[in-house]
Amino acid sequence: MKVLKNEKHQGYSPVLSQISDNQIHGDYKESFFIGIEGSNDTPFCRANIWPNPDVLSGWQATMEKYHQEALRVCKAIARVLALALNVDGDYFDTPEMLGNPLTFMRLLHYEGMSDPSKGIYGCGPHSDFGMMTLLGTDSVMGLQICKDRDVKPRKWEYILSIKGAYIVNIGDLLERWSNGIFKSTLHRVLGNGQDRYSVSLLAKPIRVYLHKFFRHVHFSVRLL
């Protein structure tokens, strides 16, 4: 396939090609991964791979527009999160944070019937590594979260999709930046035999300086 992924996983990845921790089988999902164009100088991205415009006319422009708009939403949410941490609203806008962002967008299609007891998942349990992930889903149930990963056996709850609304996942980076005030949520997707589609956009800075911000937020949080 001409749009098959590059070495940075941009482009198309078929079913069973992605695997999370502790999984026996790969995920029962196929995905199309779009990075930020022009970020070839980062270790994470190359030029995006696009389907032939003669086959999907206007698709690239639509995806790029969506990418841009979703990043705008991330930045608006970051302002609210900053205020909740009792720091300035533009706290996350610096170049080291979302001012110089790296966003990964994935178009996802799940299929098949999951069976966690056999390690068969639409998407295996994981937390997102970035600052936050915006998730737009269709109305097919499948996404589950585990509020406390240390409680055994783990308790999983379905997340309802609300038409016209995003699901916002806190990522590992924001948990660290906020000194654990915002928790990165463990989540997974179970297939129920129906096709399920979602679009996820993960936002993080191009480079991450954990210690600096860890210390900085620590002082702010003590003021709460």
Task: Report the interface residues with Fe ion, using CB under 5 A.
Answer: 128
Shortest Å, Cβ 130 to Fe ion: 10
Beta carbon nearer to ligand AKG, 87 or 143 = 143
Q: Which partner in Fe ion, ligand AKG, none is near 198 (CB below 5 to 8 A by kind)?
A: ligand AKG
Q: Which helix (H) or strand (E) holds 187?
A: strand 186-189
Residue pair 133/203 in contact by the 8 Å Cβ criterion: yes
Q: How buried is residue 90: exposed, middle or buried, by Cβ count under 10 Å (0-12/13-18/19+)?
A: middle
What is residue 55's three-state secondary structure?
coil
Shortest Å, Cβ 103 to ligand AKG: 12
Which residues 6+ apart lie within 8 Å of 112 measured at CB? 28, 120, 122, 191, 193
Beta carbon nearer to Fe ion, 27 or 128 = 128
Q: Which residues bind ligand AKG (CB under 6 A)?
A: 106, 108, 123, 128, 133, 135, 137, 143, 187, 189, 198, 200
Residue pair 76/134 in contact by the 8 Å Cβ criterion: no
Q: Which partner in Fe ion, ligand AKG, none is near 135 (CB below 5 to 8 A by kind)?
A: ligand AKG
Beta carbon nearer to ligand AKG, 71 or 135 = 135
